[in-house]
Amino acid sequence: MTAFPKPADLIPHRAPFLLLDEITALEPGEKIQATWRLTGEEDFFAGHFPGRPTLPGVLMVESLAQAGACSVLSVPEFADKLPLFGGADKIKFRRQVVPGETLTLTVEMLSLRGRAGKGIGKAHVGTELACQAEILFILVDS
């Protein structure tokens, strides 16, 4: 079994805004698979929505961006950079995500040139697609 780095070893995010629990597959700068387990204890569930907790879609997109950042920052030449969100296109939400579910996040890089890149991310719960988006980013000195 291959050991992969922990998300916190690659990206600067920390609780409560580190939205990845584990990297389960990694091809540096090309592809990544990670998980985010939603326990129901996350603060945002209390207000989104009371009595019917639902993961905010924008946090699904952010979790995809964090996974993509892990892939990019695992490339030695980019390891000391700070990835910034440049935008998101073609976002589609397909199902609600609720406490107790685990998101499997996959990001495949479409381009990575100089200090910018683009990837396509998908978030699944089991075999069901919850969200997909094209993620745009730039890399700056940290």
Active site residue 13: no
| Other Cβ atoms within 10 Å of 115 Cβ, number | 14
| Amino acid type, 133 | A
Annotated catalytic residue: which of 6, 13, 31, 48?
48
Q: DSSP string of 32-89?
A: EEEEEE--S-STHHHHSSTTS----HHHHHHHHHHHHHHHHHTSGGGTTEEEEEEEEE
Task: Kindly list the catalytic residues.
Answer: 48
